[in-house]
Amino acid sequence: MPDKIPSDSVGLVSPQTHHFDQPLDLVSGAVIQEYDLAYETYGKLNQAKSNAILICHALSSNHHVAGYNTPDDKKPGWWENFIGPGKPIDTNKFYVVGSNNLGGCFGSTGPSSINPDSDKPFGPDFPIVTVKDWVQSQARLSDVLGIEQWAAVIGGSLGGMQVLQWSIDYPDRLRHAITIAAAAKLTAQNIGFNEVARQAIVTDSDFHKGRFYDHNTEPSRGLRIARMLGHITYLSDDSMREKFGRQLRDERIDFGYEVEFEIESYLRYQADSFVGKFDANTYLLMTKALDYFDPASDYDNDLAKAISHAKANFLVVSFTGDWRFAPSRAREIVKALHDNNLNVSYAEIKATHGHDAFLMKIPHYMEIFGAYMERVASEL
Amino acid sequence: MPDKIPSDSVGLVSPQTHHFDQPLDLVSGAVIQEYDLAYETYGKLNQAKSNAILICHALSSNHHVAGYNTPDDKKPGWWENFIGPGKPIDTNKFYVVGSNNLGGCFGSTGPSSINPDSDKPFGPDFPIVTVKDWVQSQARLSDVLGIEQWAAVIGGSLGGMQVLQWSIDYPDRLRHAITIAAAAKLTAQNIGFNEVARQAIVTDSDFHKGRFYDHNTEPSRGLRIARMLGHITYLSDDSMREKFGRQLRDERIDFGYEVEFEIESYLRYQADSFVGKFDANTYLLMTKALDYFDPASDYDNDLAKAISHAKANFLVVSFTGDWRFAPSRAREIVKALHDNNLNVSYAEIKATHGHDAFLMKIPHYMEIFGAYMERVASEL
């Protein structure tokens, strides 16, 4: 933590956990008998319970969205840029909830949690959950928190997919849906990258068919590869050129296989710092949830039909440099919303940062996001 | 082999090998004392020795460019579409030479060859070779074949880089330089993908610091990952959408980690059929040669300066769907050539196929290539 917590931070925050003892029926047909969801909240729920905002997280993140968990934390939550007093998601006005997705590895029940039936980690016995399942579990958390209707449900990337699913499955339970750097389904290329990541993990000799916990190890080599690859898809060719170019780490080429170019150093560093912090089975599960997400598939592949019962007002944001979920993918969502005569604001932000732009303080993005949230606040 | 060899094929061809006993000084400072180069030739060298064409290969291919090596071959050489009687590179007119790059694993000396000093495979003791080294070794092969000047040196991808280096290092030894789907240097993103592939190989527990031959194994898991990733970068988002989309292999989703989407099946198949046929150390070495290629780096990063002594006439071809070496990268080459008042024909072919387009029978591409080669033939 910085010597002094910045005045626009929510400051020290504590994660909470709720235990759900009602079985959850999953899309796959599997049932989770009981489970925990970890979450954090910032700001105060008003008396009308009308000012609650749900933040849905992306593949590798969690419920720690803003503030600091301990005085020793070097970094705040992953969306600190956007959440806090006076920030676009203003905690003086809103009650903000971040929850860790089911199947995760940061407090919610997932493959690394202890299976009460065996007293060992679930591992591969933990069922694959989908975006729809997450949204159902988040709706139950809403009930626990006494939130009948969210002022807004907000998310970037995989989080934006959850937002879309919320608007479809619980049309009366959110007034605004904000989906950022997302798509209504993955392309073959997106699935291909996920499959490479998964194959790297499951073919690692330390994977042990997902029961690596029992062997006191983890498929760290596979997870490293998955994370390196992920980072390439989070950045853009342009942003990598700006950040690293062909810059060498030392003055000269060594003609060997140690780090030579700065980009190699960056990728290895990102990979090394991920291993030990993230569960490999959760990584597999999250990529599968991404692959499967396709709300139109039950509606003759017609997204407009899938979303025809939605009632929320939408803000859709995309970034020009995002080749993972390019603006053209966001425009598919916008078209489906327009086809249903829903209120849609769409912003295509000029940014070279790639997919990761949704995390960044890009002035035009902050402005548009902030203005939209002021509108949401003005309705309270 | 098909029941009957097509009449426009060069037919049955035999690879040849030449042993070079003069040491080769490499860019790295290392020296290869002696080495073999494997090559194939098609067509007949004319008396003036003016009709010779050198084909330079890309990362994973070799000297078997056209025709069939045995009556049992199911597939012809990798550029059969372009080389043969009546084809763009017409073997009725030209004498065509394909050689396997030094460091390769198809007959030329490389990491999997026996080191005469130890009677074991070189493995990591085989030095890293660069594009410049390959061109030097190919120039020596030209001497052996009695070819003072090539009518054209031609290559796609990494092969196109060799073409560019030929025009720089041996300006008097080629009349035409044809570079296809290439770039004058890799971007950080390109290097990033190569680094992921390398890390997958070197962290495979069967890699044994490159001495896997001594353990009767190979880092097949890592090589599989490298190949899967490679294939994603060879195709385009569009071509993958057309070819596979979100097509499932079976009717329904299985909620498991076996193949579900067709794209997963394709990538696994490509990977599985690569393993056992390609040497992992060669893969590492080839990606390094790609990373290092940057002829401008010795000339204040000014490509025009690097190429200022070139004399060849150029055909530069790029493909709109190629995101690995996009048309903008080809235009950098064209600009540097123009800056030197060289004759340049540039074709940007509209094609959704991605990087692999350079291998394909795309009508507009075939036409332009064929017309250019007729011009080369007309000068004989």
Q: What sign has the CA pseudo-torsion A326, A329, A333, A334?
A: positive
- Is residue A175 within 8 Å of residue A152, measured between CB atoms? yes
Taking residues B67-72, report their average pLDDT. 93
Beta strands B150-156; A95-99: pairing state: unpaired
State the Cα–Cα distance between residues A220 and A34, nearest whole angstrom.
29
Q: Inform me whether the pLDDT recorded for B186 exceeds 80.
A: yes
Sheet holding B52-56, edge to edge: B16-20, B35-42, B95-99, B52-56, B150-156, B174-180, B313-319, B344-349
Reported pTM: 0.96
Q: A27 vs chain B: nearest CA distance in angstroms? A: 9
Provide the residue type at B130 as one letter: T
Out of B27, B29, B224, the one facing A203 most closely (by C-beta) is: B224
Task: Give Cα separations from A227 to A100, A200, A271, A367, B326 (angstroms).
Answer: 20, 10, 5, 31, 25
3-state DSSP call for residue A81? coil
Q: How many CB pairs under 8 A join A and B?
A: 154
Taking residues A136-151, report their average pLDDT. 98
Q: Inform me whether the pLDDT recorded for A114 exceeds 80.
A: yes
DSSP secondary structure code for residue A42 in this structure? E
Q: Is the ipTM of this complex over 0.90?
A: yes
| pLDDT score, position B5 | 84
Closest residue of chain A to B197, computed from CA coordinates? A225
State the Cα–Cα distance between residues B59 and A379, nearest whole angstrom.
60
**Of B353, B347, B294, B296, residue with least CA distance to B322:** B353
| pLDDT score, position B4 | 75
Tokens 């060997």 correspond to what residue?
A: A256
Q: What percent of chain A has pLDDT over 90?
A: 97
| Model confidence pLDDT, tens digit, residues B286-313 | 999 999 999 999 999 999 999 999 999 9
State the Cα–Cα distance between residues A183 and B219, nearest whole angstrom.
36
Q: Inform me whether the pLDDT recorded for B116 exceeds 90.
A: yes
Closest residue of chain B to A235, computed from CA coordinates? B189
pLDDT bucket at B164, cuts 50 / 70 / 90: very high
- Other C-beta atoms closer than 10 Å to the C-beta of B118 total 11
E strand or H helix at B226: helix B220-234
Taking residues B104-114, report their average pLDDT. 98
- Those of residues 296-325 in B touching chain A at CB distance below 8 A are 297, 323
3-state DSSP call for residue B325? coil
Taking residues B15-32, report their average pLDDT. 98
| pLDDT score, position B2 | 57
Show residues of chain A in contact with B193, CB under 8 Å: 232
Annotated active-site residue A231? The verdict is: no
- Other C-beta atoms closer than 10 Å to the C-beta of B361 total 11
Q: Inform me whether the pLDDT recorded for A2 exceeds 60.
A: no
Q: Inform me whether the pLDDT recorded for B1 exceeds 60.
A: no
Q: Lowest-confidence range among A202-206, A250-254, B266-270?
A: A250-254
| Model confidence pLDDT, tens digit, residues A292-334 | 999 999 999 999 999 999 999 999 999 999 999 999 999 999 9
- Is residue A197 within 8 Å of residue A313, measured between CB atoms? no
Beta-strand (E) ranges in chain B?
A: 16-20, 24-25, 31-32, 35-42, 52-56, 83-84, 89-90, 95-99, 114-115, 120-121, 150-156, 174-180, 313-319, 344-349
CB contact under 8 A, B240 and A189: yes
Tokens 């073919």 correspond to what residue?
A: A203
Residue A365 tokens read as 């993005």
Question: What letters, b where the CB count within 10 A reaches 16 and e where it falls short, cover B179-195?
Answer: bbbbbbbbbbbbbbbbb
For the residues of B136-163, what is the DSSP string, one character each? HHHHHHHHHHT-SSEEEEEEETHHHHHH
pLDDT bucket at A3, cuts 50 / 70 / 90: low
Closest residue of chain A to B267, computed from CA coordinates? A192
Task: Give Cα separations from B216 to A121, A346, B120, B212, B219 (angstroms).
Answer: 36, 58, 12, 6, 11
**Of A341, A281, A234, A246, residue with least CA distance to A121:** A281
Beta strands B114-115; A89-90: pairing state: unpaired
Residue B1 CB burial class (10 angstroms; 0-12, 13-18, ≥19):
middle
Q: What percent of chain A has pLDDT over 70?
A: 99
CB contact under 8 A, A255 and B205: no
| pLDDT score, position A71 | 87
pLDDT bucket at B375, cuts 50 / 70 / 90: very high
DSSP secondary structure code for residue B378 in this structure? H
Closest residue of chain A to B281, computed from CA coordinates? A257
Catalytic: which of A157, A167, A236, A318?
A: A157
**Angle in degrees, 0-180, between the axes of helices A280-292 and A220-234, rounded to the nearest 10:** 40
pLDDT bucket at B251, cuts 50 / 70 / 90: confident
Q: Inform me whether the pLDDT recorded for B56 exceeds 80.
A: yes
- Is residue B282 within 8 Å of residue B110, measured between CB atoms? yes
- Other C-beta atoms closer than 10 Å to the C-beta of B356 total 22
Out of B128, B195, B267, the one facing A195 most closely (by C-beta) is: B267
| Model confidence pLDDT, tens digit, residues A318-376 | 999 999 999 999 999 999 999 999 999 999 999 999 999 999 999 999 999 999 999 99
Indicate the average pLDDT of chain A: 97
State the Cα–Cα distance between residues B138 and B296, nearest whole angstrom.
21
pLDDT bucket at A4, cuts 50 / 70 / 90: confident
Annotated active-site residue A322? The verdict is: yes
Q: Inform me whether the pLDDT recorded for B285 exceeds 70.
A: yes
CB contact under 8 A, A237 and B205: no
Tokens 């893969």 correspond to what residue?
A: B283
Q: Which residues of B have a catalytic role annotated?
A: 157, 322, 355
Rg over CA atoms, chain B: 20
For B373, what's the count of Cα atoms within 13 Å in the CB-facing half-sphere?
A: 26
Q: Inform me whether the pLDDT recorded for B149 exceeds 60.
A: yes
State the Cα–Cα distance between residues B223 and B171, nearest whole angstrom.
37
Out of B237, B261, B291, the one facing A261 most closely (by C-beta) is: B291
| pLDDT score, position B3 | 64
Tokens 């606040």 correspond to what residue?
A: A377
